[in-house]
Structure 1
Amino acid sequence: MDKSALRDMIEWIVGGARSAPTPQQMMAECCEWAVRAGLPLWRVGVFVRTLHPEIFGRHLLWKPGSEVETGTVDHNIQESPEFAVSPLAPVFKQGLEVRARLDDPASKRFPIVEDLRTEGVTEYIALPLVFTDGLVNASSWTTKQPGGFTEEQLDAIRSITIPLARYIEIVTLRRTAMLLLDTYVGNRAGERIWGGQIRRGTADTMDAAIWLSDLRGFTALSDRLPAETVVEILNLYFDCQVAAIRDHGGEVLKFMGDGLLAVFPIDQYVGDETQVCSRVLEAARESRAGVAALQFPNGEATERFRFGVALHLGRVLYGNIGGGNRLDFTCIGPAVNLAARLEKIAGKLGRTVVASERFAGICDGGWSDLGEFPIAGFSKAERVYGLHDEASRAAAG
């Protein structure tokens, strides 16, 4: 075994593996380097937990001559029968090293090891990857070498896991930061914050279509049902909008109780006003259909609790607003204020989708002129439009 080559590889990892710009490339280079240094590796896996509302962890799997495989598992994996008999379970739960030689009858307690036997694997070892905060992740290493790994080879693998854990921790923290920013403030805002726009007052102007929606009858709903049920209903209700908004190029900026504020930027990368507004209207129609088909956890249909959405087009100020060290990355401006006023008018008219004159004039969606209405805080009235295919109904709350 070439110990000098192994030392060079460890120094490369400690230095940030700069020749490998992605974790997949780093994994491939690291394993191939280890093989050239004399480690008889057949299959290497890295399994890392994530701080994500839907994903428990990610994995990378390397085999010689193949692309590094990547994948994710959800939080239910921890309660699954498969995880209970996995050699990774004691690694994650107790930080233990688990070694399974294929010629040892005790290895049969791990189904995955038995599966690897058909590939000619002779030994499997799972090792903890411990982060600086004590969080334990896992790695697995297999060989086809007759008799399994030697003790020297196992010591070499153990020496690799320490710098490997540091590298993975840095990459994971960066990924986690981006995921959390995307989850809580949206992708575009997250990119700006990550890019350094973190000072109060830092803001840009942006032309955008504005979406402001609200659940009808929410006050009565909250009073009548248990709080836990209301939260579940809100999540289902927002699911009907968020997917449609994101699929059509929008970004959710804020949840305000039962309200939602989203923007659809207009620029050379996403399209002109007509293209963007058409996508916004399509998202509104999809959301309307989704809410109409929604069933509450207690079996009540959503027709008893409708929502309204106001659509407008204008220039907004997009950036950091707040007090002291508590900031909010959001958008403000007369255009946002007008959208908020229009949403209230939608409720009074019993309409689900309404639009400003400017939005309706750009987007040919089959609009009816609902009349001109005074707008609180604005010097002149605004003409409001509703969809032809939507009958006016009395407001539900």
Structure 2
Amino acid sequence: MDAPSNINSVITHSDSDVAHWLTNDTRDERFLDNIFSELCVRVRQAGIPVKRATLHLLIYHPQWLGARIMWADGMREAEIGRVDYDVRERSEFIGSPANELFDGATEVRENLERDPSLGRKHALYDEMRAKGLTDYVAWPLYHTLGKRHMVTFATDRSGGFEDAHVSGLSKLLPVLALVSEIRMKNRLARTLLETYVGSHAGELILAGATRRGSGTTVRAAIMICDLRDFTRISDNWPRDDVIDLLNDYFDAISEPIARHGGEILKFMGDGLLAIFPLSQPTACANLLQAVAEARQAMAALNESNGQTGRAPLNYGIGVHVGDVMYGNIGSRTRLDFTVIGPAVNMASRLEALTKQLGRPVLLSRAFADFVDRDFALERVGEYPVRGFSDPIELFAYHG
């Protein structure tokens, strides 16, 4: 008769140790998956026979609704999976513990040893039974302002979790919620900055570069791209079609830029501004590789659009190289992290000339001098450029 009391006493004491560690000793760990893995190991050492655990988080990423951190006994590190926005319409969600919790349940508990016909019906429970798990519990993890995430624990112990095990785990939830919310907000801040200003600018802002007028001079290759006839398209196409078109166009142009080390600083309606800092010795070659791949992607997009009767999308790209001021510009309360300077103006003027000269990509002589002969550049000639006193020697690039 004394065994349950002893178990309660041991688990209560050990839970306090785990909670103390979670509260006080995780300050220097940036990544939540590492904290969650260590938590599960410590929970097992405390006498709670957790065999498998998951942490499900709504992450508000542009591409994914959420993420799942999964730990199992014997794993060296947790496994992280991403969850698509349409998951709630799929069978993996419908009828799942997550479905129940996000519909308002405060706990989902399932005895996996009993006859499956008597329990909940979902593929997840069958998968856990197949892995020898005997008991499962899931709880909402409450963050501030009503945001609900989810944590689950499962065991392979014969007879499942004891009440003391479940009680011990539940006592850790408030601390886990606080620790996970801090990491979530840090990651969300980083994600938002990467999404809206780019990864390099985001890192500078997170490091404290938020004062108006602060910045530095950067020598870089500058690329400006603009879509042709967008006003006509937006006036005549349905709104949703215009948004889809812009997203497809920006995917085609942007992904090669990011892949080759460029930094997209801003989208301007149907255009974009990107730089390739010359601190990278192959920056100019990287830019041309990105342009070549972007042109291939645009050709594929136009072919796909042509099959649905849409007219091809035309675009212009202007490229120059020079010193730019890179930093915070704006009003006292609203700043933009961007680049300015004559070199940016030149790239913009060259982009405008692409339409006049019928060349999709125009490069300045200054940029061409940085490029290997391996890249076949066609000399177009010297042309006056608005805002600059002397004609500029231009080159076309066909990728």
Separation (CA, whole Å) in 1 of partners of 2:130 and 2:35: 28
Please state if 1:102 is matched with 2:112: yes
Does the CA-based 8 Å contact 2:30-2:183 persist in structure 1? no
Aligned counterpart in structure 2 of residue 320 of structure 1, from 318, 328, 331: 328
Pair 180,298 (structure 1): closer, same or farther in 2 beyond 3 Å: farther
Deviations 1:20-73 (A, max 9, x none): 453232122211111111101111111111111211111111112213211111
Pair 338,16 (structure 1): closer, same or farther in 2 beyond 3 Å: farther
Aligned counterpart in structure 1 of residue 196 of structure 2, from 180, 184, 193: 184
Separation (CA, whole Å) in 2 of partners of 1:289 and 1:40: 55
Please tell me the root mean square deviation across aligned C-alpha atoms, in Å.
Answer: 1.7
Bigger mean CA offset, 196-205 vs 142-151: 142-151
TM-superposed deviation, 1:95: 4.4
Q: Which residue of 2 aligns with 1:130?
A: 142
SS at match of 1:116: helix
Please state if 1:307 is matched with 2:315: yes
Separation (CA, whole Å) in 2 of partners of 1:90 and 1:361: 63
Q: Which residue of 2 aligns with 1:394?
A: none
Bigger mean CA offset, 343-352 vs 368-377: 368-377
Does the CA-based 8 Å contact 2:134-2:158 persist in structure 1? yes
Separation (CA, whole Å) in 1 of partners of 2:356 and 2:119: 69
Does the CA-based 8 Å contact 1:266-1:276 persist in structure 2? yes
TM-superposed deviation, 1:183: 0.6
Does the CA-based 8 Å contact 1:293-1:302 persist in structure 2? no
Separation (CA, whole Å) in 1 of partners of 2:249 and 2:104: 40
Q: Which residue of 2 aligns with 1:285?
A: 292
Does the CA-based 8 Å contact 2:266-2:273 persist in structure 1? yes
Separation (CA, whole Å) in 2 of partners of 1:330 and 1:54: 24
TM-superposed deviation, 1:107: 2.3
Separation (CA, whole Å) in 2 of partners of 1:38 and 1:143: 12
Please state if 1:25 is matched with 2:34: yes
Please state if 1:212 is matched with 2:208: no
Please state if 1:341 is matched with 2:363: no
TM-superposed deviation, 1:298: 8.2
Pair 202,348 (structure 1): closer, same or farther in 2 beyond 3 Å: same
SS at match of 2:146: coil
Q: Which residue of 2 aligns with 1:80?
A: 90
What one-letter code is carried by the residue in structure 2 that aligns with 1:37? A
SS at match of 1:214: strand
Gaps of 5+ in 1: 391-397
TM-superposed deviation, 1:296: 3.2
Please state if 1:50 is matched with 2:59: yes
Q: Which residue of 2 aligns with 1:395?
A: none
TM-superposed deviation, 1:381: 1.8
Aligned counterpart in structure 2 of residue 6 of structure 1, from 7, 10, 15: 15
TM-score (norm 2): 0.92
Runs of 4+ in 1 over 4 A off after TM superposition: none
Aligned counterpart in structure 1 of residue 245 of structure 2, from 224, 233, 255: 233
Does the CA-based 8 Å contact 2:223-2:319 persist in structure 1? yes
Give the % identical residues. 37
Pair 218,42 (structure 1): closer, same or farther in 2 beyond 3 Å: same
Gaps of 5+ in 2: 1-6
Does the CA-based 8 Å contact 1:95-1:136 persist in structure 2? no
Separation (CA, whole Å) in 2 of partners of 1:54 and 1:234: 16
Q: How many residues align?
A: 383
Separation (CA, whole Å) in 1 of partners of 2:260 and 2:286: 6
Separation (CA, whole Å) in 1 of partners of 2:171 and 2:314: 60
Deviations 1:132-191 (A, max 9, x none): 221111011111222111111111110011111111111111111111110111000110
How do residues 357-396 of structure 1 correspond to structure 2 at under 5 angstroms? Answer: 357-363=365-371, 364=373, 365-387=375-397, 389=398
